[in-house]
Structure 1
Amino acid sequence: MVAVSADQTPPENPSGIDAADTHDDGPPPRWRLLGPGLVVAATGIGAGDLVATLVAGSKFGYALLWAVIAGVVIKIFLVEGAGRWSLATGHSIFEGWRRLGRWTSIYFGPYIMIWGFVYGATAMSASALPIYTVFPQIPFIVYAIFSGLVGAALVWIGKYHAIEKLVAVFVGLMFLTVVGSAAFAAPNVLDAVKGLVPLIPEGGVINTLSIAGGVGGTITLAAYGYWLKEKGWYQPKWMRVMRIDNTVAYIISGVFVISMLIIGAELLYSANIAIESGDEGLVELSGVLADRYGGFVGNLFLLGFWAASFSSVLGVWNGVSIMFADFWGRVRKKDEDHPDRRSGGKYYKFYVLWLTFPPMLLLLIGKPVSIIIAYGVLGSFFMPFLAITLLLLLNGRHMPEKWRNGWLLNVILGVIAALFLVLGINELIGAFSPG
């Protein structure tokens, strides 16, 4: 078993009980390479992220490899900030936002409701597509609805440790299939090394910014602090463990994204093959893999496609539901440790239902343009919202001085905030542009 020691190594635990669950005040126990970082990274890497990187590889080859690596680093800093706030203060990220003023709630409330309504349909569709591709005898909508119902059932009681183990299985499937497909594509090492030079190809500014800033999750990054608490990592003594957990998890997610870039560069860019920009692009890619390496490889990739999509269902149905429970419990003036503001509470279950059943209407009637526009606008400005509020929180008076940002971290978060503002403005312009 791979393990690292925390700041101190405790005596042996013959009972076998995870010391993370005992909530004692002693040193953190030995830590296994499986934690909330893996959940947040797996949740963030969905079908849309795989397609975005695949399209970048098909258009520019390895030229944006450096941007993929930059994106991994960006997410490490953002998630570390969310985790550091939670461990150092003992408060959730939403409690931190409330300390910045009521404007954060005015933004977050509508955002989480609209986002959940549209994302529910998107996630169910993405999970259904690879299954429907292999077994088209049953209508697509049946697979989509079934995916949502299964996801809701698996997270209903909110047992984090069970969800963590399920996500680990899906990460294993993704590693086998996505990284395996990249190995079949036989990456050109020399071209890949050239792609480490930070240059923006002609016509690739937006692609570059999107790859660097947009791959790897949005609202689920802020859920990291909640998963830390569910795991039992709840005090500053877990800071070093949290940082290792987060870094290792995003390195793993970076391997997935780089693998998709390799596949796009070797199979599509070199053969001048264009694919769809939506989830259908992954289905098309499975066909390309099947034509070149056989049906088994094509179907194996579809399995990875499904694992990436359904792990996002589990992560969002659990993590964002906890965030909603915390938000609504605060609105109802309940104490921060009240069960209704935790996983498995009534507000949590309400949002699980909200993610599952209302979005089925969108599956039946299609996605209304006005909702899509609202979702795109709000969604594009969540990441700058997260980056800017973290910059304020991690330097504010509520943060213990020991754990505040230094000047270098402030510069990095400032650059990240500016990057996401540019992406958000571009998304805003695109949402309201004709055609």
Structure 2
Amino acid sequence: MADITGNTRNTGAPDGTVPAPRKSSWRYIGPGIVVAATGVGAGDLVATLIAGSNFGYTLLWAAIIGCLVKISLAEACGRWHLSTGRTLFDGWASLGRWTTWFFAVYVVIWGFVYGAAAMSSSALPLQALFPDVMDLKWWAVACGLVGLVFVWFNKYAVFEKVMTVLVGVMFVVTVYLAIRVTPNLGDAFAGLLPVLPDEKDSVLNTLGLIGGVGGTITLAAYGYWVNAKGWTDTGWMKIMRLDNRVAYATTGIFVVAMLFVGAELLHSANVAIASGEKGLIQLGDILAEEYGTATSKFFLVGFFATSFTSLIGVWHGVSLMFADFVARLRGEGEARGGDEVASGRRERSWAFRAYLLWLTFPPIVLLFQGQPFRLIIVYGVLGAAFMPFLALTLIWLLNSTRTPREWRNGWLSNGMLAIAGLLFLVLCVKQIWDQPWSEFF
């Protein structure tokens, strides 16, 4: 992506990490697969599916631009970690105490609400596959507990291998469906031209599709996964960039495949589905009618893989960020915090496990009692604000003396991050505006 300087200087890896290779190689990739699997949740797939259902192939270009925007953000996160040896939170803390307060409020409220959403999303396809076993809420609790146990007792290496297997399932299912519906390749190529749908609010809807492709806070977690892989210095920069491109090429395949399904299976038949994860359950019913029960069940397996990778990805990645946040507050943040992540000490810390418990047990209450209205509004506002916060702080960090000169932003990186910042700022304002504030007070 941006700022490819060709520099592969190895500044010396800590004990237990892999020496930086002389050249980039596919066999090293891994964090990119993790961020792709975590970032593409059921909500992203159904949003792309609905875009295909409503507009056919018209917004194919927007889905691809969404992947390019996320490439630039993830590359910037990874470049910060490798070029400075410091973690992203350490960089945020250097910008002032306001970043600490924002992250503290965000990570507590976001984790509480997201935990319930992730467990429910993973439970939906399981209940559809095994309707007579138990209630949806208990499936959700089981998913949360399995995620907790898996992340608690396994370190990054095992976590990455499991995520890779689940991504393989997602890939096979989505590509199979895209081929099964027999896409019109002529119309698909026409969809690469940047044309807006002829409808009210088409600009905002298009921006929403661009911004919704593949991850929010998980983009910030990418740098932590890079360190957890054992990549801690600039000798790994080329590998990180290859890894990042693989991540969003994979993401692009997922979302384009689902847009094909929406365009061919739903748009041509003028079939509407619900927003949110329940729309994917409806799609499973439509697939059963069109192509048989086996195809429907195959799709539900892919739906579960998509949802569960997001669950365990957040359980691991955001807990890693929270552990680094706590270490920094306690004065334990070191000059090369990336080495601490690479050593596995963050994964063994009490803060990592405390946040794992926070993501799992308090949200179970929401599963049984319903989500409190005011908290959902605050969650929506904080979630909308995170992406412009990430984009704009990365511009700040990577154009300052905090970053070694040779690894600072070039014009392409600055341009892409500025576009991302403006895009997410517009979407943030829209989401805040759309909240039912009159009912909040």
TM-score class normalised by the smaller sequence: over 0.9
Q: Which residue of 2 aligns with 1:346?
A: 350
SS in 2 for 1:168: helix
Name the count of aligned residue pairs: 422
Given the alignment, which residue of 408, 411, 429 partners 1:404? 408
CA contact (8 A) 2:384 2:432 kept: yes
Given the alignment, which residue of 208, 226, 229 partners 1:228? 226
Any residues of structure 2 matched to 1:268-307 within 5 Å, and which? 268-307=266-305
Given the alignment, which residue of 413, 416, 419 partners 2:417? 413
Superposed CA RMSD: 2.1
Following the alignment from structure 1 to structure 2, what is the Cα–Cα distance between the partners of residues 158 and 385?
31
Q: Which residue of 2 aligns with 1:65?
A: 60
Given the alignment, which residue of 182, 187, 193 partners 1:197? 193
Following the alignment from structure 2 to structure 1, what is the Cα–Cα distance between the partners of residues 204 and 181?
26
| Cα deviation, residue 30, structure 1 | 5.2
Following the alignment from structure 2 to structure 1, what is the Cα–Cα distance between the partners of residues 94 and 154?
27
CA contact (8 A) 1:79 1:221 kept: yes
Taking a change above 3 Å as real, the CA distance of residues 24 and 170 of structure 1, as seen in their structure-2 partners, is closer
Following the alignment from structure 2 to structure 1, what is the Cα–Cα distance between the partners of residues 24 and 15?
7
Identity of aligned residues (%): 52
Which structure is higher in RCO with an 8 Å CA cutoff and minimum separation 6? 2
Tell me the alpha carbon deviations over residues 263-288 of structure 1, each in whole angstroms, 9 at most, x when there is no partner.
00001111000000011000000111
| Cα deviation, residue 22, structure 1 | 3.7
| Cα deviation, residue 321, structure 1 | 0.1
Given the alignment, which residue of 306, 316, 319 partners 1:318? 316
SS in 2 for 1:216: coil
Taking a change above 3 Å as real, the CA distance of residues 92 and 288 of structure 1, as seen in their structure-2 partners, is same
Following the alignment from structure 1 to structure 2, what is the Cα–Cα distance between the partners of residues 36 and 25?
15
CA contact (8 A) 1:321 1:348 kept: yes
Any residues of structure 2 matched to 1:249-260 within 5 Å, and which? 249-260=247-258
SS in 1 for 2:153: coil
1:364 aligns with 2:362: no
Q: Which residue of 1 aligns with 2:11?
A: none
| Cα deviation, residue 398, structure 1 | 0.7
SS in 2 for 1:202: coil
Q: Which residue of 2 aligns with 1:53?
A: 48
Following the alignment from structure 2 to structure 1, what is the Cα–Cα distance between the partners of residues 160 and 181?
31
Q: Which residue of 2 aligns with 1:15?
A: none
Q: Which residue of 2 aligns with 1:186?
A: 182
SS in 1 for 2:347: coil
Given the alignment, which residue of 90, 98, 102 partners 1:103? 98
Q: Which residue of 1 aligns with 2:392?
A: 388
| Cα deviation, residue 226, structure 1 | 0.7
Tell me the alpha carbon deviations over residues 18-63 of structure 1, each in whole angstroms, 9 at most, x when there is no partner.
x994455785785515310110111000000001101111110100
Q: Which residue of 1 aligns with 2:428?
A: 424
Question: What amino acid maps onto 2:188 in structure 1?
Answer: A
Which 5+ residue runs of structure 2 have no aligned equivalent? 1-5, 9-13
Which 5+ residue runs of structure 1 have no aligned equivalent? 1-5, 9-18
Taking a change above 3 Å as real, the CA distance of residues 250 and 30 of structure 1, as seen in their structure-2 partners, is closer
CA contact (8 A) 1:28 1:237 kept: no
CA contact (8 A) 2:83 2:407 kept: yes
Q: Taking structure 2 as the reference length, what is the TM-score of the superposition?
A: 0.92
Question: What amino acid maps onto 1:377 in structure 2?
Answer: V
Q: Which residue of 1 aligns with 2:246?
A: 248
| Cα deviation, residue 170, structure 1 | 0.6
Taking a change above 3 Å as real, the CA distance of residues 396 and 128 of structure 1, as seen in their structure-2 partners, is same
Taking a change above 3 Å as real, the CA distance of residues 30 and 202 of structure 1, as seen in their structure-2 partners, is closer
Following the alignment from structure 1 to structure 2, what is the Cα–Cα distance between the partners of residues 99 and 341?
23
Taking a change above 3 Å as real, the CA distance of residues 131 and 66 of structure 1, as seen in their structure-2 partners, is same
1:140 aligns with 2:136: yes
Taking a change above 3 Å as real, the CA distance of residues 76 and 369 of structure 1, as seen in their structure-2 partners, is same
Q: Which residue of 1 aligns with 2:171?
A: 175
Given the alignment, which residue of 326, 329, 349 partners 1:328? 326
1:44 aligns with 2:8: no
SS in 2 for 1:357: helix
Following the alignment from structure 1 to structure 2, what is the Cα–Cα distance between the partners of residues 219 and 382?
7
CA contact (8 A) 1:157 1:343 kept: no
Taking a change above 3 Å as real, the CA distance of residues 28 and 156 of structure 1, as seen in their structure-2 partners, is farther
CA contact (8 A) 1:20 1:29 kept: no
Q: Taking structure 1 as the reference length, what is the TM-score of the superposition?
A: 0.93
